Amino acid sequence: MSSKTPYKVLCVCLGNICRSPTAEVVLRHFCDKQQLNIMIDSAGTSNYHPGKAPDERSQKHALKRGYDLSALRARQLKPQDFIEFDLILAMDHENLSNIQALLDQAHVEYGASQIRSKIALMSEYDQTYLKQALPDPYYGGVEGFERVLDQCESSSLAWVSIFKNSFQNNSSNNRSM
């Protein structure tokens, strides 16, 4: 990709300590592998865990696959994110409707011309988990954390394919995504 300005993607779940930090690091890994000029961040729709590191269980399971989540810190999704980010990825359908509600507020607050973000599910183009939720692992067992990693890897590969096609077919200033 020739653009110096990165395409910006924000991964969003409820707490920003389990699913979205995992999605952030896994998606970054696959984007970097393809040398895509994409900046990735994550946030939560809630403010349950501001400034906290990802859940120890998420960190442990991710590290077993080579993903280091330790430097991340939780933050809440804010209206300015819709100005800054090109794409906001919801981990489940409840996140999606909460993001949509905040986006509607941002439209009122900033005006449509300021809004940059499109919103979609993490699994939007994932043929294995098509439009399925990434189940919240917080109150469950170890298999939930492995499932999050499986889905993040699968959905990230699907997004990388979409990004590659989109960036190849469009000039840097006219991306279709």
Q: Which residues bind ligand 4NP (CB under 6 A)?
A: 13-19, 48, 136, 138
One-letter-per-residue 3-state SS of 116-174: CCEEEECCCCCCCCCCCCCCCCCCCCHHHHHHHHHHHHHHHHHHHHHHHHHHHHCCCCC
Q: Which of 11, 18, 19, 126 is catalytic?
A: 19
Q: Which amino acid is at 105?
A: Q
Give the number of other Cβ atoms within 10 Å of residue 145's Cβ: 23
Nearer to ligand 4NP, 86 or 94 (CB): 94
136 is catalytic: yes
| Backbone φ and ψ of 38, nearest 5° | -130, 130
Minimum distance, C-beta of residue 86 to ligand 4NP, in the bound complex (Å): 22
CB distance 50 to 74 below 8 Å: yes
d(CA 170, CA 124): 21
Which of the following is catalytic: 41, 81, 126, 136? 136
Q: Which residue is nearest to ligand 4NP (CB)?
A: 15
Least distance (Å) between residue 23 CB and ligand 4NP: 9
Pick between residue 77 and residue 106 the one whose CB is nearest to ligand 4NP.
77
Q: How far is the CB of 150 from ligand 4NP (least distance, A)?
A: 15
- The CA distance from 102 to 135, in Å, is 22
Considering the complex, what minimum distance in angstroms separates the CB of residue 19 from ligand 4NP?
Answer: 3
Closer Cβ to ligand 4NP, 152 or 160, answer by number:
152
What is the helix (H) or strand (E) element at residue 41, kind and residue range? strand 38-44
Q: How many CB atoms lie within 10 A of CB 66?
A: 8
Q: Is 13 a catalytic residue?
A: yes
Nearer to ligand 4NP, 6 or 135 (CB): 135
Positions marked active-site: 13, 19, 136
